[in-house]
Structure 1
């Protein structure tokens, strides 16, 4: 039985709020459904969500690693990290390729060619030797589907603030994705050699591993209700593509900057999430994830009263009039892009089934695909990130980070944040994530 939800968070603009949102929603989902299991997969080369879940982003001195990331490095077996998962996904795909080659050779009464060096798009660490390939050809009884639970750690064992039913396939920053770990020698038009880091590689050799990842997600035990995958602003990175090709949905956090919004469609670095990555993948029949929500982050409010903008963007609080106008304008631009391009329109989940409400298809589109994520006060946000304390369990007590900084948030404001976080979790997932919110 496949998970009810599998979602990645993506935007080619750094600072849009991907990791913070994924962190908060994953913890809230785990809190709201204590009898289920929530899996977080860290496919960001920065591994920030692993740091937040494993103890926080605080450092005990200049140049020191984030506390949570050091905990992840120390606590998670290297063979059970996100990079090890990617390696094993690719080996599973290679094993099936070798099997097909043997079967094809046998059907023609010939012998399969000797094992050759298999070059991995993910880098040297992921490339099996010819000897390893020979072993794989002789030993075909390995599991057909990669078991994600073998790579899943429980952050709650190391960080008491994280719900115990949340599981993490952790990335370990440079330990997982450094140039030394992933570099590979490639030919540069036959004129020389160069090292290409993971995040700059092109080509489609990642896709067989993505198909194995999709099968692995679909084969999770039934108690795993939801899978969240974090990515980073390098949308064209093979890790981001791996996520987009293997989960059902994508959530796109948005800032109010029109320049940032335009970069979803135009980016000189060829990292535009929609134009350069998702549309290209869709044309090649590689894309599985469709846009479920575009979420305006850091939305300021004037009151805690639920409201809808003139275009239909609902919030559990009341944004300022200027903010409402900005959101409506950007949502209207998104609808115009869909009307202009069938390629962009096809990126949205269920868009063909939309029916006009009140005579306006635009209104239906905006209401379905846009939501808000309230601006979290700096103090609460910093406490949450630095100490690894998700908002859903934060109290009005004083928290002290590894750096020595300390602070506390107003209990009443925290309770309001929790209610609004619960609303956003239900908006992106479903109404079953409805456990009562306790006062801070």
Structure 2
């Protein structure tokens, strides 16, 4: 056990030491994996690292990742956000909270297309911030609804984070996608409910209600929403209906995104190549992190660290709730310094044996960790959505963080709900059996 303790301390010191010195996450994972094998095992480090890098780079489940990233990049360069604003405005303008709901619903719709939190937040924000500012909506609620709802890109399928978790935990990506639907819709309802209540309590800070739209305006709005809703139905419906795997659905999504971009007149040679190159850069970065994380995972497996830690946690007789609380706090702390994909690949080799020992369903845990990473997206100092909103609005980072804090609390509320009632997550996946 002394050797296990020493190896665990060495692992922590090396990881945080290299990250603190500014070394890339992927290089850190690879270097620490090689160091752990060299220091604590007699295994042939070179051949094992080489074979692990190769084996982890061609998994079929990963093929959906670059395709969904490309789909998001295509739509990011189209006029989809403008159409959504025009489509949603007549439908929500008279609700308590008015056009603030466009931020929430717009992010929800775009999240179901792009799978990326940052793309969702930036795309909707660039469209709605000037419009809401022109209409004198309070800046704190404009920022809060955008930064908070931007996190829906991680939870509502297709989600890049879920793909990475599914590959790492060896769980069905289709089941993870389905498991995220009800929590995602519930989170939208929580955000809209809070916005409505806030606007009713603080009527003095809200602009005058929008004029009642005509039925013609509402129908025109639905027509503007039709392309986005149609693409969602095509991609997600093909998975849920059992007609396509996530990879095949991603191909359908790319073709649909290209068609929508062509019909809207935004598909040019330049936008096409920009989208391809952006998708290649993002996908290569994620894939390299996953491959290097596999090297660290096999290293700690050779050291026997996951099994020993799982046995240690089991000996503590922690309840599943206590274990989840400890792991949740750990993820939130890591989220203050790392982005979501790095958190998953960095911690999975240790956390997954623990939660399996505690009898926690790994599909449910995937949604649990996704919500925590959503919360980390709006947690200083490295909450990525905070920086996106800072660039979109020009507000300082403290103002942005303060505006998003109520939405962080709502995410914690959702986490509590799915912990007390896990069927919120597991109901739809069970229907697949």
**TM-score range for the pair, normalised by the shorter chain length:** under 0.3
Higher strand proportion, which one?
1
| Larger RCO, structures 1/2 (Cα 8 Å, 6+ apart) | 2
- What TM-score, normalized by structure 2, do the two folds share? 0.21
- What TM-score, normalized by structure 1, do the two folds share? 0.20
